[in-house]
Amino acid sequence: MDDTHVESARTPAVVNENLVTPAAFPRGWTWLGVGLLISVLGAFIILTPPGVLRKVDFIAAAVCHRIASHSFFIHGHQLPLCQRCTGTFTAALTGLIFQWGILKRRNTRDFPPLSILILTVVLVIPWGLDGFNSYTTFFTGGPAGIFGYVPQPWIRLLTGTLVGMGMSVVLVPAFNQVAWSDGTSDRTLRDWKEWSIFLLVELVQAALIYTRWDWLLYPLTIYSGLAIIAMFALLGTMVFVMALGRDNCCTRWRDLWVPLVWGVLFAMFLIGGVNLLRLNSVGTIDGVPGLSHSIFPHT
């Protein structure tokens, strides 16, 4: 990082002169959001089957096919997300925690260097190609896909993990630019050293998931569900803030609680809506009828 960027990192970006506090958000929106969220969470608890594991399955069904042959099993239970989606969403949430929590980049506004962003885009290619190869095994009549190799659980998990990293690399600075009034001209990931540490953390997490130790069942299930909600909630929070014209409104997470409430509402409505469409179209949240053959049973 050059001297100019170091110096700019010490200087806060231009602060929004219309800085607001939580109380400045329209009172009607505040109470409406809280009331709706309580109602939606209550409906989710009542209408979904009992048990934490099954409730998270319904959250996961909004983003994942949940085909058993493409999923990990722990202690006889299918994880809520397939192998690729498990890597993607858990890595994305870990990426948020790493950048906001460990690196303390809560208010840094600049994206990582261009070279890191280019790699982030490039890593989507093997994720897409392996996914397509895996999908074609349903029609090739053999274990190998259209590209001539047999899909492997570890490849699905790894490619998902790398894409999940990329999701957080893009989301953190984008969110910071929308939410915070005290943003600084610094990068969320400053250089390849920080990216390498980030990659190591994600690979260790992926390796831990791949062990499928029995004690991981509940922590990994809950973490996967929280990851899905977090991704959608942050997007919903950004939409809410921009829709009200309150960009760069806050300096602390607790000041942002009203938009975050609406963000979680956005996530829950999206999850519920997709599940309704799925149940009406295929009749189940468990896999896809007609696409259920198993190359690696209970992997």
Contacts 24+ apart (CB under 8 A), 33-38: 33/258, 33/261, 33/262, 33/265, 34/261, 36/265, 37/261, 37/264, 37/265, 37/268
289 Cβ contact list (under 8 Å, min separation 6) = 282, 283
pLDDT of 288 reads 85
Average pLDDT for 145-160: 93
**Measured on CA atoms in the order 2, 3, 4, 9, is the torsion positive or negative?**
positive
Average pLDDT for 147-158: 93
pLDDT of 180 reads 94
State the DSSP code for 215: G
pLDDT of 24 reads 67
List pLDDT tens digits, range 176-207: 999 999 989 999 999 999 999 999 999 999 99
pLDDT of 126 reads 95
Average pLDDT for 69-97: 97
pTM for the whole thing?
0.89
Query: Does position 19 have pLDDT exceeding 90, yes or no?
Result: no
291 φ/ψ sector (left φ>0, alpha ψ -120 to 50, else beta)? beta
